[in-house]
């Protein structure tokens, strides 16, 4: 039974085009409703299901449909129980990565300081990354020593992981991101930029390994946000524009760019940027659309 499940898993929220025949390079042509029940079908294999899950959840997040992404991931966690032990951990790690990305995209930083991602132990750098960046970001405006201490505690965990996993690991990327966010909170601008530039370089190396390794926190966006909140609006707008070349559907960066434009006195450019954001999030959740202002 286990080998049959390995060959035929399709998780809830994933669908294949009617009549399609699976080939190694083919992925699902459409995403089913997030509430769909897990199904087993001989047309799919685990590798295809993983890639399709990434694309469907990323489509939800890019469109600001956070509730759909949450429901799709909840169904995917349930579907993981169908896998044999040797495959379940890799599936769970992917779901944890996407759940962490969802939390970051929503951006409720104060709430994320204490967030625990379901099954985060299978991807041990993900939880400390989310909590560390959240604590550092929440302290940017207030210079709160307690929040900075919380961020440093997560950084210590990531330093241990990075030492064991190596300098080109995702744990090292997480370490650079949290340390950069902490440096920004302490207004150590030069150190912050060096750390986040190194994070961006490593992010690009890891992303070359395929969509399954898409970043949870975008180094360029974190850097641009830090530049903006420390009143370096021209530098922030330049960094946002560079990031939008790499991630053209990124609405959060457009919101930041519009704010930087407005503070630089470029009202027309700000409104054009917000219009692009509204178009990209035309079918977004109400709480997502409320951020476009």
| Per-residue pLDDT at 5 | 41
| Per-residue pLDDT at 37 | 59
Judge whether 14 lies within some domain: yes
Judge whether 23 lies within some domain: yes
CA distances in angstroms from 110 to 73, 97, 155, listed in the order given: 23, 20, 17
| Per-residue pLDDT at 187 | 78
| Per-residue pLDDT at 38 | 52
Classify the C-alpha dihedral 134-136-141-142 as positive or negative: positive
| Per-residue pLDDT at 98 | 99
Judge whether 27 lies within some domain: yes
* Domain total of the chain: 1
Q: Which positions of the chain have pLDDT values less than 50?
A: 1-29, 39-44
| Per-residue pLDDT at 28 | 46
pTM exceeds 0.85, yes or no: yes
Judge whether 163 lies within some domain: no
Judge whether 62 lies within some domain: yes
| Per-residue pLDDT at 85 | 85
Dihedral pair phi/psi, residue 20, rounded to 5° = -75, 155
Q: Which domain holds residue 73?
A: 1-105
């Amino acid at each position: 039974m286990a080998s049959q499940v390995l060959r035929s898993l399709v998780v809830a929220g994933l669908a294949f085009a009617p009549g399609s025949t699976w080939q190694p390079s083919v992925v699902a042509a459409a995403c089913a409703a997030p509430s769909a029940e897990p199904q087993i079908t001989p047309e799919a294999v685990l590798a295809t299901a993983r890639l399709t899950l990434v694309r469907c959840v990323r489509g939800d997040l890019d469109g600001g449909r956070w509730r759909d992404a949450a429901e799709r991931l909840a169904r995917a966690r349930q579907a993981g129980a169908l896998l044999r032990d040797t495959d379940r951990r890799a599936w769970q790690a992917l779901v944890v990565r996407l759940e962490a990305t969802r939390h970051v995209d929503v951006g409720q930083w104060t709430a994320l300081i204490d967030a625990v991602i379901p099954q985060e132990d299978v991807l041990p750098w993900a939880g400390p990354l989310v909590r560390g960046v959240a604590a550092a970001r929440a302290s940017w405006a207030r210079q709160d020593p307690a929040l900075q201490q919380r961020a440093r505690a997560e950084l210590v965990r990531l330093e241990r992981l990075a030492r064991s996993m190596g300098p080109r690991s995702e744990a090292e990327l997480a370490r650079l991101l949290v340390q950069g966010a902490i440096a920004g909170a302490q207004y150590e601008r030069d150190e912050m930029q060096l750390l986040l530039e190194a994070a961006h370089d490593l992010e690009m190396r890891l992303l070359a390994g395929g969509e399954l390794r898409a970043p949870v926190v975008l180094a360029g966006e974190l850097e641009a946000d830090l530049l903006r909140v420390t009143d370096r609006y021209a530098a922030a707008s330049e960094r946002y524009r560079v990031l939008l070349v790499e991630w053209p559907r990124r609405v959060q960066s457009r919101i930041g760019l519009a704010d930087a434009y407005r503070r630089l006195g470029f009202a027309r450019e700000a409104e054009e940027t917000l219009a692009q954001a509204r178009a990209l999030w035309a079918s977004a959740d109400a709480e997502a659309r409320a951020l476009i202002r």
